[in-house]
Amino acid sequence: MIPTAQAFGIDIGGSGIKGAPVDLNAGQFASDRLRIPTPEVSTPDAVADVVTEILNHFDVHDGTPIGVAFPAPIKPGKPIDFMANLDQSWVGVDITKLLSEKTGRRIRVVNDADAAGLAEVQYGAAKGQSGLVITTTLGTGIGTALIIDGVLVPNTELGHLNLEGKDAEHYASDAARSRKDLNWKKWGKRLTKYYKLLEKYFNPDLFVVGGGVSKKSAKFFPYIKIDTPIVPAQLLNNAGIIGAAYFADHQQKLEAAARANGVLAVQQVEHVPAARV
């Protein structure tokens, strides 16, 4: 693998599965990413085959931390119990076990929005921000990451809050914008309702807006009328890959430290949710 890369990240999304070696000092790709379309029927086996193909494409050294960002809540050692936007056959599957067995490597899995949030706090738009940062990813769904003074509260799933009698992501995601052919102003009004809801319940210090559409923030930010500061993600759509790589490296270090101290078994370490950044 490229000498500057210390970890490898893969981001599994509704339309594409993307991977790249990551330079964790710089918080950027160490070489170009590879993107393969998500299989039309996105079953666990079909997705695992694409993950294997991506890893085979790059010369990833043994021992390199490999992180996968995935669009569902991830509880280590437990099967997935909720899946919004990929094939329902994921429910009941232990993704970490499946991907590790299929690829023959130690794979660490993190929720995709949590990965993006970690990357933005570590390297991007929320670097140095104290207090509560809520990163939202606007794509097929709405993903959320809550990070308090650098510590992640994982699996928050606030894209499924009830808004206007619907699942919020069905009302305000980027996919909802395309589906309903909303102009930027109309979508901005829907986003205002969504961010106001988050404001009311969480009182964050900063919102970061990620997902592919964040590169067009100049078009819709003027229509989001809220009190909390709101900024576009700096790592744009690369945050999932970079955050997954960062997460895997962080977990690997925690596990190594725990083994050295002989205090915790590896499985217990994996249940420590906080990634202090």
Residues that bind ligand BGC (CB under 6 A): 71-73, 84-85, 111-113, 137, 139, 141, 143, 157, 159, 169
Torsion angle (degrees, nearest 10) of CA 96, 22, 70, 179: -160
- Closer to ligand BGC at the Cβ: 30 or 152? 152
Strands 151-153 and 142-148, how do they pair? antiparallel
Q: Which residues fall within 8 angstroms of residue 109, CB to CB, at 6 or more apart?
A: 67, 68, 69, 70, 74, 76, 95, 96, 99
CB of 130 to ligand BGC, least distance (A): 24
Q: Taking each helix axis from N to C terminus, what angle separates 95-103 and 44-57, rounded to the nearest 10 degrees?
A: 50
**Sequence-ordered strand ranges (E) for the chain:** 7-12, 16-23, 28-29, 34-37, 66-70, 107-111, 132-138, 142-148, 151-153, 162-163, 166-167, 206-210, 230-232
CB of 259 to ligand BGC, least distance (A): 30
Whichever of 29 and 70 has its CB closer to ligand BGC, that residue is 70
Identify which of residues 60 and 248 has a Cβ nearer to ligand BGC in the complex: 248
Question: Of 113 and 209, which has the nearer Cβ to ligand BGC?
Answer: 113
CB of 176 to ligand BGC, least distance (A): 12
**Closest CB 1 distance from ligand BGC, rounded Å:** 27
User: Of 157 and 249, which has the nearer Cβ to ligand BGC?
Assistant: 157
**Least CB distance from residue 69 to ligand BGC, whole Å?**
9
